[in-house]
A = this chain, B = another copy of it.
């Protein structure tokens, strides 16, 4: 594989997913840090060279003029894990893995990660009126997402197939810090057990 560089903010769970995928597979990954609160991913250079969307993470593949860039955390995880044990070979299990990864980006991250970002990094008193109005609906939708996970984990050890996959990595990233957004997990015992099971895997790497 060509040299891999992750453009990241270490506080972001979306960036952590990619580092966790690389760690679990023993893949080398350089990192370059940006402070999203200081707008460092909105600079002209970043927009022109890394991601016109102004967002991190971005996985850079190769160096210099031949470098290619891959935004979207879950797509970057797929690139690193393609052909590995973290992507099930069975057709249904593979599609189910993607099902949970899309669920994570649609139902989980916009609620649980956004409230964590607002509460822990922006600060509730610094939110706009529009953001403040979104706290309650995001709180409800975040708990709905946790409930769907809890229901699945009542009868499954992992989200897709019979071992940990990218779906578990994607959902672990923001679920294990959900309390930082005010989401207590005491009502979700199977989610809590799954978090512990995942963190006990041999090649697990914590968020730092």
Selected from B53, B109, B151, the residue in CB contact (under 8 A) with A107 is B53
Cβ-defined contact, B95 with A70, below 8 A: yes
Q: How many copies does the complex hold?
A: 2
When distances are taken between beta carbons in the complex, the residues of chain B under 8 Å from A98 are: 72, 74-75, 78, 98
Q: A68 within 8 Å of B by Cβ?
A: yes
When distances are taken between beta carbons in the complex, the residues of chain B under 8 Å from A106 are: 72, 105-106, 109-110
Nearest opposing residue in chain B for A107, CB measure: B53
Q: A96 within 8 Å of B by Cβ?
A: yes
Q: In the docked arrangement, what's the CA distance between A130 and B140, Å?
A: 14
Which of A71, A91, A99 is the most central at the interface, judged by chain B CB atoms within 10 Å of its CB?
A99
Q: A122 within 8 Å of B by Cβ?
A: no
Q: Chain A interface: which size bin?
A: 20 to 34
* Interface of chain A, main secondary structure: helix
Cβ-defined contact, A148 with B79, below 8 A: no
Please judge, given known A-B contacts A70-B92, A107-B53, A110-B110, whether A99 and B75 are in contact too, CB under 8 Å: yes
Binding site for B on A (CB under 8 A): 52-53, 61, 68, 70-76, 78-79, 82, 91-92, 94-96, 98-99, 101-103, 105-107, 109-110, 130, 133, 137, 148, 151
A-B contact pairs, 17 of them (CB 8 A): A52-B151, A53-B103, A70-B92, A70-B96, A72-B98, A72-B106, A75-B96, A75-B101, A75-B102, A78-B95, A79-B92, A79-B95, A82-B94, A105-B105, A106-B110, A130-B133, A133-B133
